[in-house]
Amino acid sequence: MTHYIAQRIVQVIPVIAGISVVTFLMLHLVPGDPVLLFAGDKPLSEERAAEIRHQLGLDRPLLEQYWDYARKAVVGDLGVGLRSQRPVRDSILEVLPSTVQLTLAALTFAAVVGISLGVFAAVSHGSWADTATMALAMLGVSMPVFYSSLLLILLFSFTLAWLPATGQGGIERLIMPTLALGMTSSAVLARLVRSSMLEVLRQEYVVTARAKGLAERLVLVRHALKNALIPAVTVLGLQLGALLGGAVITETIFSRPGVGRLAVDAIGSRDFPLVQGTVLFVATGYVLVNLLVDISYAYIDPRIRYR
């Protein structure tokens, strides 16, 4: 077990290093001179360009620049925002609680609703309830976040006036973003849990369990669901990426602070340290969460750790 965890952790290191190289190179890979990107659309004299290049440290050899960047990033120093003059880390930490709150809420919503619907559909396999549930899930998968967000606002804020449309703070401002963001993931999960449940229900040990007279509820929960959930856990981890991506849109529409919007707005204001820092942070977070998923896997499914 320890060996398995250690192995997974070691595997993560090159991934994070790779991410840091990519985020670092981002600035150099976009077409055009990074100095022009910083200076924006203003005409720029040669001296001024050289001055900015020096200010940003872009006149040093690339390797040296990367080394400097990576060395600082390891200890959590992501540089200073060009406009705000504050450490990028502070800007991220400031909006992080809002992102964590929304992501966790959406993930919980997705898990609860997705798994329940999936199990329900599997149990009522072939009936109209199964068809209806899966149609609903299909709708959820196909509906883009920006569309469902606007529909929710239209209904709950503008028509019924039950919930405030914008801002952050209080449960009433969390409900709609959570629904909008969690809807797609819950639909993905529902479909997955249904099919994996159906598969498990055909297994011999389920037949055995039923044969020895176990209550149907126990058969479903202890024998079937526990095994059917294994792929769901992986997908839930992967869905985190989708949630973070969708969060940018949800945050923009509902005027919520968040890491995703921080990055997108930083692109708009050409604040490169801020863009790099946020991307590095989010990507690393994503890798770490999936590491946790992998480890939790070993607990859920002993077969994995013995492989």
Q: According to the binding rule CB under 8 A, does residue 133 interact with another protein?
A: no
- Contact call for residues 284 and 121 (beta carbons, < 8 A): no
Exactly one of 35, 95, 200, 263 binds another protein (CB under 8 A); which one?
95
Q: With binding defined as CB under 8 A, does residue 245 bind another protein?
A: no
Radius of gyration of the chain (CA): 24
Note whether 101 binds another protein by CB under 8 A: no
**Binder among 153, 174, 240, 263 for another protein (CB under 8 A):** 153
Check residue 61 for interaction with another protein (CB under 8 A). no
Give dist(CA 109, CA 103) in Å, integer.
10
Is 244 among the residues that bind another protein (CB under 8 A)?
A: no
Contact between 142 and another protein by CB under 8 A: the answer reads no
Under the binding rule (CB under 8 A), the answer on residue 257 touching another protein is yes
Please tell me whether residue 169 binds another protein under the rule CB under 8 A: yes
Q: Is there binding between residue 294 and another protein (CB under 8 A)?
A: no
Residue 225 to residue 219: CA distance in whole angstroms: 8
Give the alpha-carbon dihedral of 174, 176, 178, 179, to 10 degrees.
150
Nearer to another protein, 194 or 261 (CB): 261
Is 166 among the residues that bind another protein (CB under 8 A)? yes
CB nearer another protein, residue 2 or residue 159 = 159
- Taking the C-alpha atoms of residue 284 and residue 280, their distance in angstroms, rounded to an integer, is 6
| Minimum distance, C-beta of residue 94 to another protein, in the bound complex (Å) | 6
Least separation in angstroms between CB 93 and another protein? 10
Helix axes 272-300, 88-123, angle to 10 degrees: 40
84: CB partners within 8 A, 6+ apart:
91, 271, 274
| Total length of the chain | 307
User: Which residue is it, tokens 């920006």?
Assistant: 146
Site for another protein in 176-235 (CB under 8 A): none
Cβ atoms < 10 Å from Cβ of 146: 14
| Gap between the Cα atoms of 156 and 42, Å rounded | 44
Residues of the shown chain interacting with another protein in the complex, contacts defined by CB under 8 A: 30-32, 36-37, 40-43, 51, 55, 81-86, 91, 94-95, 97-98, 150, 153-154, 157-158, 161, 164-169, 251-258, 261-262, 265-266, 268-269, 271, 274
